A and B are shown apart, each in its own frame.
Chain A
Amino acid sequence: MATTASADFDVRRNESLGLRLQHVLHSNPVFGPLAVLIVAIIAFSIVNGRFLTATNLSLVLQQVTVIAVLALGQTLIILTAGIDLSTGAIAVFSSILMATFCTKGGMPGIIALVLGLAFGTAMGALNGFLVTRIKLPPFIVTLGTLTIFFSLNSVVSNSETVRGTDMPGLMTWTGNSIPIGSFRLTYGSIIMLLLFAYFFYALSRTAWGKHVYATGDDVESARLAGIQTNRVLFSVYTVAGLLYAVGGWILIGRLASASPNVGVEYNLDSITAVVLGGTSLFGGRGSVIGTLIGALIVGVFRNGLQLGGVEVVWQGFAIGLLVLVAVSLDQWIRKVKT
Chain B
Amino acid sequence: MTTPVLEARGLTKRYGRVVAIDGSDLELYPGEILAVIGDNGAGKSSLIKALSGALIPDSGEILLDGQPVHFRTPMDARAAGIETVYQTLAVAPGLDIADNLFLGREERKPGVLGSVFRMLDRGHMRSEAKRHMSELGVATLQNIGQAVESLSGGQRQAVAVARSAAFGSKVVILDEPTAALGVKEGNRVLQLIRDVRDRGLPVILISHNMPHVFEVADRIHIQRLGRRATVITPKSHSMSEAVAIMTGAAEPPPQAA
Interface size, chain A (Cβ < 8 Å): 26
B108 touches A207 (CB 8 A): yes
A224 touches B88 (CB 8 A): yes
Known: A1-B145, A206-B118. A338 touches B150 (CB 8 A): yes
B23 smallest CB distance to A (angstroms): 27
Q: Which residues of A contact B152 (CB under 8 A)?
A: 338
Chain A CB within 8 A of B104 CB: yes
Within 8 A of A (CB), among B113-158: 117-120, 122, 142-143, 145-147, 149-152
Report the Cα distance A7→B140, complex, angstroms. Answer: 11
Q: Which residues of A contact B95 (CB under 8 A)?
A: 210, 213-214, 217
Chain A CB within 8 A of B241 CB: no
Q: Which residues of A contact B151 (CB under 8 A)?
A: 338
Closest-by-CB residue of A relative to B52 is: A224
Closest-by-CB residue of B relative to A286 is: B94
Residue from A7, A205, A206, A218 in contact with B92 in the complex, judged by beta carbons closer than 8 Å: A218
Known: A210-B103, A225-B104. A217 touches B93 (CB 8 A): yes
B92 touches A338 (CB 8 A): no
Report the Cα distance A211→B94, complex, angstroms. Answer: 11
Closest-by-CB residue of B relative to A23 is: B150
Chain B CB within 8 A of A284 CB: yes
Report the Cα distance A241→B146, complex, angstroms. Answer: 34
Chain B CB within 8 A of A158 CB: no
Report the Cα distance A214→B95, complex, angstroms. Answer: 7
As a 0/1 sequence over residues 59 to 93 of chain B, the CB contacts with chain A under 8 angstroms (1 = contact) are 00000000000000011001000001010111111
Chain B CB within 8 A of A227 CB: yes
Chain B CB within 8 A of A221 CB: yes
A70 smallest CB distance to B (angstroms): 24
Q: Which residues of A contact B74 (CB under 8 A)?
A: 224, 226
Report the Cα distance A220→B74, complex, angstroms. Answer: 13
B93 touches A206 (CB 8 A): no
Q: Which residues of A contact B104 (CB under 8 A)?
A: 211, 225-227
B120 touches A205 (CB 8 A): yes
A205 touches B94 (CB 8 A): no
B residues lining the A interface (CB < 8 Å): 54, 74-75, 78, 84, 86, 88-95, 99-100, 103-106, 108, 117-120, 122, 142-143, 145-147, 149-152
10 more contacts with CB within 8 A, not counting A208-B118, A285-B94, A338-B149, are A213-B94, A213-B95, A214-B95, A221-B90, A222-B90, A226-B103, A226-B104, A227-B103, A284-B92, A338-B150
- Nearest 4 A/B pairs, CB to CB: A226-B104, A224-B90, A214-B92, A207-B106
13 contacts between A and B (CB under 8 A): A1-B143, A4-B146, A208-B118, A210-B92, A210-B103, A210-B120, A211-B104, A213-B92, A213-B95, A221-B89, A225-B92, A226-B103, A284-B94
